[in-house]
Chain A
Amino acid sequence: METKNVMIVGVGGQGSLLASKLLGRLLVDEGYDVKVSEVHGMSQRGGSVVTYVRFGDKVYSPVIEDGEADFIISFEKLEAARYVDKLKKGGTVIVNTQQIDPMPVIIGAADYPEDVLEQMEQKGVHVDAIDALSLAVEAGSSKACNIVLMGRLAKYFEMDKDKWEAAIRNSVKPQFIEMNIKAFELGYKN
């Protein structure tokens, strides 16, 4: 199997590391060779963060480069636009419609481009926009955005839904399992 590439991007503190942990575990259990690359440290302080997940028969590079991503899962609108050049032709951007102003916007040095999703669509990108924050709140916590987005990704994967749910059970603390399963379902359905 040719290597598949999933990028998870967002703003430091949004919980993208749990999403990549979940996905990584699931793919290892499926018997794939897997590489997950993340950058720690400075970028966690509210900066732009990116995690690469690659899987297939044999994976070499831990990073995803321009035109290689099958999926970009973005926790925030602007971040989807920032990394859209990594998308493969025919790839899909799954994006949480949340807007988080970066510092240049906060201090008035730049404007937040409101129509980035439309701009991407005009370039022929398949954009699957979802209000993951509201769905996460519906599931019980705004922190479950990551699992809502994983639920959305699961729709595109030819993999039994039960396996995703089992991976969730193995990745989160017992008291948060039910809430996260609900978040996953909401992402999957809506």
Chain B
Amino acid sequence: MKELLIGNAAVARGLYDAGCAVISSYPGTPSTEITECFAKFEDAYCEWAPNEKVATETAFGASLRGKRSACCMKHVGLNVAADPLFTMSYTGVNGGMVICVADDPGMHSSQNEQDSRHYAIASKIPMLEPSNSQESYDFARLAFEISEQFDTPVLLKMCTRVAHSQSIVETREKATDTEKPYEKNPQKYIMAPANAIRRHPFVEDRTKALADYAETSELNRVEKGSKDFGIITSSTSYQYVKEIFGDDVSVLKLGMVNPLPTKLIRDFAKELKTVYVVEELDPIIETHCRNIGVDVIGKEKFSITGEFSQKTIAKAFGLDDKYSVKLEENIPVRPPMMCAGCPHRGMFYVLSKNKITVLGDIGCYTLGSAAPLNALDMTLCMGASVSGIHGFNVAGGEETEKNTVCVIGDSTFMHSGVTGLINIAYNQSNSTVIILDNSITGMTGHQQNPTTGYSIKGDPAGKVSLEKLCESIGINSVRVVDPYNLEECERVVKEEIAKDEPSVIISRRPCVLLKYVKPKKPLKVNPEKCRSCKRCMKFGCPAISFRDKHAVVDPTLCIGCGVCAQLCPFDAFESEEQ
């Protein structure tokens, strides 16, 4: 059957059709849809885990038991999962295991542009890299075969353009009888030094065997062209190369990027005058070519930063001469922002107004850094706000303690904020942690998490109480506030940062985009009362704009949260709500 699928949906389908029985993941753009699509298959187990390390170890456990399993994450998630990754390379697998990792060149939705291929090399785990949805499906299936044949987990590397581009996929029959029995095997699965030291040579031998496989595998193919130069490429870069040159130029298309073939590359280069390597981000293939004595042109011509397109490649070859309309007008940027009625905004307004130093984290609330709130001082990685404020206060003492908070979302707190809070409770810094609890994982598009009480399939699940968790860690002062109530937020924040002990403020209000959150009637500005002071404009609500010397509310955006009415000194915002 032919379907138009995004790469991630094709991966989900490929995993399922290969008999994958267990998936555990943490959401992260651009990887999230793999797990969401997989969750629709009723006869396979699928879950959101609190973080990528837990997800990877869960998938490992399922593999150990003998089932085909997978875990999915974005590139920075693989940092979190790196600990099990390196040692799973030694244990190998029982049931096949696939780790899907999605890079984000161009940083559409990420804090860095790291290249996951380094992990494949460093952990000595094979990595496949599809270039469209059909390959996403095929490679996901093949990954399990490789996993079991070579006794290794397999990395399946996506990137934003492959993950989020739809192309036509033809699926095949679902595999059957993929389960294996569990047998106790301490030498293979207990990675204490005496066993691990025997497994390391196995890993090296396996890499050699996989390198041989790479020479002849259908994953890597040569497409002969007529020109005297050739291009070695993979992933979405392959599509850009074909877009420009069609069948004119010889292409070595690599679907397996670790380990890389040697003879295949040498033979390809032998017949050509010049060989280019076109790969996004780091020069991985290029470095390998040089290491095996093949002279190539790579990063001196193609950027090491950002995303490629047919334009960037054409330009590098001096071929870009397309007509293009240019307006003289300076078009104002349209950055993403917190939604109208976003519960995070009220808390950020209070923090900004009181000039409090705010260490931030990863989520929708990173948008609190934007104008006009400009509320954040730092964003690093998942959980770093909580660990970071401890270090900040240990270093700064009373001077910073009384004027600093950190903010972290409910899902991010579960992911890796809680360990930082344990450190605060244990080492007793006077830190104030604000958990922005909007009862969902927001930025990645509404995934359930351990605090929401629902599973990935929407069924009732266990529910972690943030209050009880914080108290049990040893935080004596745990307060809950409503971010729609500015007076309450301001009072509690001031009280808590003044205390000589660690404290947690839970700022609780569900995301306004959740289906069960029913919007109230939009507010209206009474032009008689509005005195054009523009105080409401400092709030940065997209529903409020300034027209004809007065504030106006866009009724299609306003959800009637009423926070603007609390800001207006002249009571100009009026509600029809009874």
Stretch from A36-44, A155-163, A176-184 forming part of the interface with B: A36-44
**A68-B321 Cα distance, complex, nearest whole Å:** 11
Assess the A41–B542 pair: CB atoms within 8 A: no
Assess the B327–A41 pair: CB atoms within 8 A: no
Assess the B331–A63 pair: CB atoms within 8 A: no
**Which listed residue (B336, B371, B372, B537) contacts A44, Cβ 8 A?**
B336
Assess the A106–B331 pair: CB atoms within 8 A: no
A86: chain B residues at CB < 8 Å are 324
Contact with B along A24-67 (1 / 0, CB 8 A): 11001000011111111111111110000000000111110111
**Which listed residue (B32, B33, B108, B166) contacts A35, Cβ 8 A?**
B166
Residue B114 at the A interface, CB < 8 A?
no
B195: chain A residues at CB < 8 Å are none
Assess the B337–A103 pair: CB atoms within 8 A: yes
Residue B546 at the A interface, CB < 8 A?
yes
B242: chain A residues at CB < 8 Å are 60-61
Contact with A along B1-29 (1 / 0, CB 8 A): 01010100000000000000000000001
Do A103 and B240 contact each other (CB < 8 Å), given the known contacts A43-B108, A120-B325? no
Assess the A41–B29 pair: CB atoms within 8 A: yes
Assess the A123–B445 pair: CB atoms within 8 A: no
Stretch from B88-96, B143-151, B157-165, B172-180 forming part of the interface with A: B157-165
Q: Which of B318-344 touch A at CB < 8 Å?
A: 322-339
Residue B254 at the A interface, CB < 8 A?
no
Residue B239 at the A interface, CB < 8 A?
yes
Do A105 and B332 contact each other (CB < 8 Å), given the known contacts A40-B109, A62-B167? yes
**A139-B236 Cα distance, complex, nearest whole Å:** 41
Q: Which of A105-154 touch B at CB < 8 Å?
A: 105-113, 116, 119-120, 123-125, 142
**A14-B322 Cα distance, complex, nearest whole Å:** 30
**A62-B132 Cα distance, complex, nearest whole Å:** 9
Do A103 and B325 contact each other (CB < 8 Å), given the known contacts A40-B30, A44-B336, A65-B309? no
Assess the B336–A43 pair: CB atoms within 8 A: yes
Assess the A34–B540 pair: CB atoms within 8 A: no
B331: chain A residues at CB < 8 Å are 78, 81-82, 113, 116
**A123-B242 Cα distance, complex, nearest whole Å:** 32
**A39-B371 Cα distance, complex, nearest whole Å:** 23
Assess the B545–A61 pair: CB atoms within 8 A: no
**A159-B326 Cα distance, complex, nearest whole Å:** 32
**A12-B108 Cα distance, complex, nearest whole Å:** 14
**A178-B4 Cα distance, complex, nearest whole Å:** 25
Assess the A106–B545 pair: CB atoms within 8 A: yes
How near does chain B come to A145, taking the closest CB pair, in angstroms? 11
Assess the B328–A119 pair: CB atoms within 8 A: yes
**A36-B161 Cα distance, complex, nearest whole Å:** 10
Closest to B29 in A: A41
Assess the A61–B309 pair: CB atoms within 8 A: yes
Residue B443 at the A interface, CB < 8 A?
yes
Assess the B243–A12 pair: CB atoms within 8 A: no
**A11-B371 Cα distance, complex, nearest whole Å:** 18
**Which listed residue (B29, B309, B327, B336) contacts A116, Cβ 8 A?**
B327
Do A34 and B108 contact each other (CB < 8 Å), given the known contacts A61-B240, A79-B334? no
Residue B226 at the A interface, CB < 8 A?
no
Assess the A45–B364 pair: CB atoms within 8 A: yes
Q: Which of B333-360 touch A at CB < 8 Å?
A: 333-339
Question: Chain A residues in contact with chain B, CB under 8 A?
Answer: 11-13, 24-25, 28, 33-48, 59-63, 65-68, 78-79, 81-82, 84-89, 101-113, 116, 119-120, 123-125, 142
25 contacts between A and B (CB under 8 A): A28-B2, A38-B6, A38-B164, A39-B109, A40-B29, A40-B109, A41-B109, A41-B444, A42-B108, A42-B443, A43-B108, A45-B337, A45-B339, A46-B337, A61-B310, A78-B331, A78-B334, A82-B331, A88-B323, A103-B337, A103-B542, A106-B542, A107-B537, A110-B330, A119-B327
Question: Chain B residues in contact with chain A, CB under 8 A?
Answer: 2, 4, 6, 29-30, 32-33, 108-109, 132, 160-161, 164-168, 236, 239-240, 242-243, 309-311, 322-339, 364, 367, 370-372, 443-445, 534, 537-538, 540, 542, 544-546, 556
Q: Give the top 6 A-B pairs by smallest Cβ distance, nearest first.
A: A41-B109, A67-B322, A47-B336, A41-B29, A62-B165, A102-B334
**Assuming A62-B167, A101-B545, A110-B330, what are 11 further A-B pairs, CB within 8 angstroms?**
A13-B339, A34-B168, A37-B164, A38-B6, A40-B164, A46-B336, A61-B310, A62-B161, A78-B331, A78-B334, A102-B334
